[in-house]
Amino acid sequence: MGYYDETDLYDDNNHKRQKRSRRGGYPLVTGFIGAIIGAVTISIVSPDIFNLTNKPANLNNDTNTVPTQVINVSREDLTTTIQNARKFVVGVNNYQSSNPFSMETEEAGSGSGVVYKRVGNKALVATNNHVVAGAKQLKVKMADGQLIDAKLVGTDELLDLAVVAIDAKYVTNIAKLGDSEKINVGETAIAIGNPLGFLESTVTEGIVSSKAREIPQDIDGDGVADYQTQVIQTDAAINPGNSGGALINAKGEVIGINSSKIAEQAVEGIGFAIPMNIAKPALDQIEKFGEVTRPVMGVGLKSLDEIPQFNIEETLKLPGSVTKGAVVTHVDPNTPAAKVGMKQLDVIVALDDKPVSDVITVREYLYSHKKVGDKLKITYYRDGKLTNSTLTLASSQ
C-alpha cells in the first residue's frame, strides 16, 4: 500500500503478523540486528486529517484552563433542540454471512450514525469503523423506524470512523457540525444513539469533562498501545450501540462522534467522543477517496525503551545521557527516508527540534502537525554521533 508504514503488520500474503509485547523485550543475544528487524515495526504516517489549515489543541495538555463560557439555554429550548437532533441520529445495522458457504446474511451487530451531509440524491452518515467492520450488508434505521439499505463509502481504522450512504429521500434533518475547539469544560454535552442495539434514539445528558483527553489506543489488537487518541470526555452515558452517534452541545451542534470502543473498560460516568474538528477532515477524505490518505517517512520504528540496555550500549553506541527515542528497524527503498540516507539502527531523538521519547510520540507529532509534501527535520544518532536530515513526506498512496 504505497509508503504506508503499517505494512509490517502484514506479510506478503496479507496475513496478520504478531507483535511482541513490550513486557517481554529481547534476550541478550548476539543477533541484535536480526531481532530488531524481526520486531514488528510501527507505522510512521501523518494524516492530512486532523488539521488542513489550523493547528489542533495541544495534545500534551488538557486545555481545561480555558474559562468556561456558560451557554444559557432554557429547558424548553433544550428539549426542542434534542427532539430535532434525534431526527439526524440513526441506527446502523451490520449484517454478515451466517456461514462461509451461504449467501444469506444475519444481523451481527449494530451501532449508531449521524446524517451529516446531503450530496445530490444521497445522504452521508458518519459512524464508527468498528460498527461496519466485516459487514456483507448494511442497513440504516431512521428515526421513524424505517429500515433502509445503505452502502459503505469508506473507513478509517485509525480514527475509528466510517461513512455510509443512503437515499436522501428518507432524510428530514441534517446535522449541523460544531467547532469542537470552542467547547469548554463544564458546558452541556448530550449523547444520542442506540445503546445495546435496541434502545433507539436514547438521549443522555451530562457535561464536557475534558475537551482534549488522551487515551492510549491498541489499533491492531495485540495488547500494545500504538497511538494516543485525542478525545472529548463526557459523563453523558455512552454504551455499546451508542458508537457512531452524536455528541451535541446545548445549541444542537454535533461536537463529536461517540465511540464506546475507545474506552477499554466499562466504567460509570466516563464516555468518549471523537472531536468534530478531528473527525470532519477525515470524513471529507473518506467521502472523496474511500479512505484517509496519509504522508509517510518510509521507516519502521521501535521505541528505545524496548531495547535491552546491553544492545543500546554495544550496538547502538548511544551516550549514557540518551534514554529515550525511536530506533529505525528498516528503511523502505525509494521512500523519503531512503532518499536522505537514513539507515537501519539510526536512533531518532527529535523531529523539527522537538524531543522524541518513543514511537507514540513520533506518531503524535506527525499526526498533529504534518501532511503530504511537508518538510520534516529528523535529528538522530548513528554509531553514537548526532546528525540530522530533512526529508519531504510522501503520500501513502
Q: Cα 19–296–307 angle (5° rounding)?
A: 35
Catalytic site includes residue 43 = no
Catalytic site includes residue 46 = no
- Give CA separation, 22 vs 35, 224, 302, 344, in Å: 14, 7, 10, 20
CB 327 within 8 A of CB 36: yes
Q: Which of 130, 201, 368, 396 does the annotation list as catalytic?
A: 130
Q: Which three cell numbers stand for residue 345?
A: 539502527
Q: Which residue's C-alpha cell is 545521557?
A: 321
| SS3 of residue 334 by DSSP | coil
N- to C-terminal Cα separation, the chain: 6
DSSP E strand stretches across the chain: 89-97, 105-119, 122-127, 137-141, 147-156, 161-167, 188-193, 202-217, 227-234, 246-248, 254-258, 271-275, 295-296, 299-303, 326-331, 347-351, 354-355, 375-382, 385-392, 394-395
Q: Which of 43, 46, 110, 243 does the annotation list as catalytic?
A: 243
The continuous run of DSSP H or E covering 338 comes out as helix 336-339
| SS3 of residue 392 by DSSP | strand
- The β-bridge relationship of strands 354-355 and 347-351 is antiparallel
Residue 397 and residue 292: Cα distance in Å, rounded?
10
- Give CA separation, 123 vs 165, 329, 353, in Å: 6, 44, 44
**What DSSP designation does 175 have?**
P
Over its C-alpha atoms, the chain yields an Rg (Å, rounded) of 22
**What DSSP designation does 267 have?**
-
Catalytic site includes residue 130 = yes
Long-range contacts of 76-81, Cβ-Cβ distance < 8 Å, separation of 24 or more = 78/188, 78/250, 81/248, 81/250, 81/251, 81/252
Q: How many CB atoms lie within 10 A of CB 324?
A: 14
Q: Which of 48, 160, 220, 346 does the annotation list as catalytic?
A: 160
Q: Which residue's C-alpha cell is 548476539?
A: 30
Annotated catalytic residues are 130, 160, 243
